[in-house]
Amino acid sequence: MKKMIFAAALVCASAVSAYAQTTTVPATDGDTPAVATPDTPNAPAPVEGANSFTEAQAKERIEAAGYTAVTDLKLDDKGVWQATATKDGKSMSVAMDYQGNIVSK
């Protein structure tokens, strides 16, 4: 009887230790975690890429950055929202990339 209890305990312990082990599998879907690269400069904005902001969201973010009279807002073929807006009394071209970076030209 003691051997049977010991064997059952051994099986349970083996199952728990096997469950606790993890294996690292490389991501194949491009969803890898961020890696700090302080010596590598970021790409200058606006960054090209698939943009998920809607027109209303883009306009709202541009206005939140201090621009007014946002007009001619269009998503270009590089995934960057382009518009004309006013800031500090000056009319200028404004761009917002898929990361939410807003730059004036």
Residue 72 in any domain: the answer is yes
Residue 26 in any domain: the answer is no
How high is the pLDDT of residue 63?
98
- Cα–Cα dist 52/75, whole Å: 10
- Tally the domains of the chain: 1
Residue 86 in any domain: the answer is yes
How high is the pLDDT of residue 37?
72
Domain that holds residue 63: 55-104
Residue 91 burial (10 A CB sphere; 0-12, 13-18, 19+): exposed
Residue 95 in any domain: the answer is yes
Residue 85 burial (10 A CB sphere; 0-12, 13-18, 19+): buried
Residue 97 in any domain: the answer is yes
Per-residue pLDDT tens digits for 27-63:
555 565 667 777 776 778 899 999 999 999 999 999 9
Residue 22 in any domain: the answer is no
Residue 90 in any domain: the answer is yes
Of 40 and 5, more confident: 40
| pTM of the full structure | 0.61
CA gyration radius, the chain? 27
